[in-house]
Structure formats: C-alpha cells, structure tokens
Amino acid sequence: MAADAPTDVVLLTGISGSGKSVALHALEDAGYFCVDNLPPELLREFVRLERQRATPRVAVAVDVRSAGSLPQLLPLVRELRAAGQPVRVLFLDAGTEALVRRFSETRRPHPLTAHGVHGELARALTEAIEIERELLAEVRESSTVIDTSHLRPAQLARWVRDLVGVAGGTLTLVFESFAYKHGVPLDADYMFDMRVLPNPFYIRELRPLTGRDEAVAQYLQAQPEVGQMLGQIEAFLRHWLPALKAAQRSYLTVALGCTGGQHRSVYAVRSLARRFGDEAATLVRHRELDIHA
C-alpha cells in the first residue's frame, strides 16, 4: 500500500454492554490495527499517521467514556470522508433487558452509573442506559446498526467480519430473517411481516426442516401469495435503490420475520438475496438459525 493512500477505517461505537469488545477482537483477528477508547478529537490525527505508515486497515472504538467530546465525532467523520478517506461506522445496540442481564452477569458497572456524565451522583443502571442512548442517538442515526440482543459472541464476531469483508464504497444489502416471538431486530432499516403467508410448520414432514431445505422451498414456491409478497418487496426495494445509493448509504438491512424464524422468513431472505445478487453486494443473516449454528 502506498504511503498516504486511503486506509480502510472502521469506527466502532455503540451502547455499553452491547459487545464492542467482542467486535473489536473480531476486527483484530481480521487483520485490523485496533485502538480502543480513542478520544474523538484525536481521530483525524490518528488516521493521518496510519496513512503515513501505510497501515491498510484500522479499527477505532469510541464510546460514551468520551462523553465530553462525542459531539465532535460525526463532524470529524464527515470531514474525513470529504477529504477522500472512507470511514465505515458500526453501531452495536441491544435491548435494555439484554443489557441489564449482561451487566448483572458480569458484575461490571456501567460507565455512567459510577460517576455520571458531568460528575453527578451515581445512577441506576436502567437510567444510565437510557441517558447513554440519548447521548449516542445522533451517532446511531448515521451508522450501520447491529442488534446484538440475541447474538452469541461467536455469532456477533462472524457478522462483524462479514460486514467489513464487503468492499466499501458501494451499497450492501443485508437480508435478515428473525422470529417475532423473540422480538424485532433493532438494526432493521425496513421490516416485512411474513406471518400472513401459509406456514410449513403445520405440515408434519416440513416442521423439523427450515427455509434452507428444498422441500420447504418447493412448498412455499407453490403458494401464490408467497410469490406475490416477494414480488412486491422486490419492486419496493428496486424503486428506492437508486435513491439509497445516491444518499451514499453503506449498508441497508432488510428484515423479514415470521413466527419462529425457521421457515417462511428464511426462505424469503434467501430468495430476495438471489434476486438482488447481480446488482448489489448482498449478505444473508438468519438470526434464529445462526444462534444454534
């Protein structure tokens, strides 16, 4: 890599307890030079130095521990991008119930419970989490979000490696299946409900299978309403894809849910990923199936 050439920069941020340490280790294993808890005001100089050193890939973790300088983060990212330096921002999030459980299990304090944001008295955990959400709300809106509420560490590490493994500069479509009974994903840009479609679960020989199996695929292909719904979703995405690309979106997550996240949503995700494979980079996630992989 030539000196001062653009470095692949991944900015990792998100809610405390959502798995940033796991994600940072996954990036390190993928060959990124990683720095944790870098103050935002040092980001520009850090990237400049790594470009001079011809470091091909760097990952920087920034979180609420730098609360005082968080307002500088997005302007710095925009400044770097305007100067021709690609920066991908990944935001890890999780539901409050999952976060409370994780802090309870690890017995680690939330960074805003011990000292507060500006030296206030210590806070209750749930209050600290909500304050952190407010502090990071603007950053979240400008990031690619990964909902880690139901993810095991190995699954999160795999999803992070998949995301950064896609070439930057183009829109990547992420198709994700999920089960409504386990909650909706927080990282979805668009969400579609497959529960109105015929359910293979009620056919005895199809019940133990998944939407990855040919027998389930054949059954769903034979249902007219399945083709109709997938065609409508495809038409919607194709209509808005040029505008999304023009807005310089890096990733677009399309979530499709059914009751158990096993049959209909899995088949729909695989089908849509194939339909868009020739015109955009695509990633496939099966939240419920991957948990047990």
Instruction: Report the pLDDT value the prediction gives residue 244, as an integer from 0 to 100.
Output: 86
Instruction: Report the pLDDT value the prediction gives residue 36, as an integer from 0 to 100.
Output: 93
Instruction: Report the pLDDT value the prediction gives residue 165, as an integer from 0 to 100.
Output: 84
Q: Are 14 and 36 in contact (CB under 8 A)?
A: no
Instruction: Report the pLDDT value the prediction gives residue 119, as an integer from 0 to 100.
Output: 45
Domain boundaries, the chain: 8-165, 172-291
Tell which residue, 149, 135, 35, has the closest CA to residue 93. 149
Rounded alpha-carbon distances, angstroms, from residue 140 to 10, 11, 46: 15, 12, 22
Instruction: Report the pLDDT value the prediction gives residue 247, as an integer from 0 to 100.
Output: 77
Instruction: Report the pLDDT value the prediction gives residue 1, as an integer from 0 to 100.
Output: 41
Query: Which residues of the chain carry a pLDDT beneath 70?
Result: 1-6, 67-68, 114-123, 167-169, 291-293
CA–CA dist 94, 81 (Å, integer): 28
Instruction: Report the pLDDT value the prediction gives residue 120, as an integer from 0 to 100.
Output: 47
Domain 8-165 has CATH 3.40.50.300: yes
pTM over 0.85: no
